[in-house]
Amino acid sequence: MSAFLFLATAAAGFLYVIAPGPAFLAVFTLAAAKGRAMGARFLIGHLVGDVFWGALAFAAIIGVSAVGPTLFDLLGAGCGLYLVYLGVRAVMTRKTTGGAAIGAQRPFVTGVLFGLTNPKAYPVSVAMYTAVAVPFAGRLTLADAPGLMGAAFVGFVLADAVVIFSAGLPLVRRLFSRHALAITRAVGVLFIAFGAKSLLDAGRGLAARG
């Protein structure tokens, strides 16, 4: 695996975890109410779901890549559009909600359930990783799967560490409560950038074979 693909996949895994969503908000509220240790247990549980959906996403991506580069480029274009759609929704959002400290009683189990039952986890995983893998259309094989999953796992762990460290800082908690909307919109811009890259790479691939 090239260094570029490893770093890009790790970055995609990092962004996948750190993007504001139900689990992200749950960690911040839980850590604020019960401390970093409880938030860490929740994230460790959630990591089970991240790995599960990531593995399924890579299996689908490699399977499509093996069929042929044209189909892979089409998948990349579709995923790029989906990421742009998610990013635009985030940028245009008008409010965010936090809620009570979910998982205060059983943070690890709650984290596992959050990670495994998120209905958007699979399509977002496929979209994120396809966005960085489009330049390698037709060249990905099952032999690349462990390296891709390892790179994504590095991104997961780094993002979890950043989230749990930040969630316990009083200043960050105050800033998050005040500027959650701006944070959500900033991540939306990153999603749009990933989607645009996927569309550009897919377009170049289709044009080269057209």
10-residue mean pLDDT series, the chain (210 residues): 88 86 72 79 91 89 76 78 82 63 73 77 84 78 90 94 84 70 76 82 79
Looking at residue 94, what is its pLDDT?
Answer: 75
Q: Which tokens in the block code for residue 193?
A: 């950038």
Residue ranges of domains in the chain, CATH in brackets = 3-209 (1.20.1250)
The rounded distance, in Å, linking the Cα atoms of 134 and 75 is: 9
Helix 22-34 to helix 170-209 angle (10° resolution) is: 160
Report how far apart, in Å, the C-alpha atoms of 83 and of each of 34, 170, 187, 188 are: 34, 32, 11, 9
Which residues, including other chains, have CB under 8 Å from residue 198's CB and lie 6 or more apart? 76, 77, 79, 80, 83, 127, 130, 131, 134
Q: How many of the other CB atoms lie within 10 Å of CB of 180?
A: 19
Full-prediction pTM beyond 0.85? no
Amino acid at 59: A
CA angle 158, 81, 153 (to 5 degrees): 20
The rounded distance, in Å, linking the Cα atoms of 21 and 153 is: 19
